A and B are shown apart, each in its own frame.
Chain A
Amino acid sequence: MNFQLATEPIDPGALARVLDDPRAGAFVEFQGRVRNHNDGHAVRALDYEAYAPLAVKEGTRILEEAASRFALINAGCVHRVGSLQIGDLAVWVGVTAPHRDAAFKACRWIIDETKARVPIWKKEHYDGGATQWINCATRRPSPEPGDPANPSFP
């Protein structure tokens, strides 16, 4: 059970080989990639930032919880930090299990928990130069143009 932050490109093939196990009838992986749009805006690039010690601690807890919830052999997760371009691999989850049902369910559970719990932040850079920290917008009933709560959002 290994959760890592990576400052260099993720090599999914190498990560998958670490999970090789003769008992594994199923290997499921998830690759989260940087896409070129979000919420109707054209995205040019992303920055990821992490509170590293707690991110690794919380990510490791998620993998350990997955092992107690699902019939797994092993699981791993790697999340990039730094500046990423469209198409780059941002997060990788790999799960081995004797059977596919546990592997599929655990993989889905791990990525969902990782997104919800691990202290990692994403800043989107849009065409035109605007930026936004995702999930950090101040929600108001009817935002005004130039709202100081959202100074950089288009």
Chain B
Amino acid sequence: MATVRLSYFALLREQRGLAHEVRETSAVSAGELYAELSTHYPFTLSADRIRVAIDGEFSPLSTPLREGCELVFIPPVAGG
């Protein structure tokens, strides 16, 4: 089990119903954590449409979770 810090933005923030949480998870990778979250909350974006930032930098979804790491799942961006 790892305890991770999560921040949510945009569509994911609305679908999660909050902007930040600390969560204990048995998921071993960021992608597994997204799948776990998707079973609890009404996320409509499939994993192939999101990216993840870990500790403030884009990272592969296969990145192993470390105790205390900060994750942001990034929905499709739409600046401009």
Contact = CB atoms under 8 A, between A and B. Distances in A.
Given A51-B7, A136-B11, A115 B80 contact: yes
B77 interface: yes
A26 interface: no
Nearest to A139: B49
A16 interface: no
A53 B56 contact: yes
Interface of A: 32, 48-51, 53-54, 57-58, 79, 90-91, 111, 114-123, 133-136, 138, 148-149
Could you tell me the dominant secondary structure of chain A's interface residues? mixed
Contacts of B13: 49
A53 B9 CA distance: 13
A115 B80 CA distance: 5
Interface residues of B, number: 22
Contacts of B10: 49, 121, 123, 133, 136
Given A51-B9, A116-B77, A135-B75, 12 more contacts: A54-B72, A111-B80, A114-B79, A115-B78, A119-B9, A121-B11, A133-B11, A133-B14, A136-B45, A136-B75, A136-B78, A138-B46
The main secondary structure of chain B at its interface with chain A is loop
Interface of B: 7, 9-11, 13-14, 42, 44-46, 53, 56-58, 72, 74-80
A113 to B, nearest CB: 10
A51 B72 contact: yes
A121 B75 contact: yes
B45 A117 contact: no
A94 to B, nearest CB: 15
Contacts of A134: 78
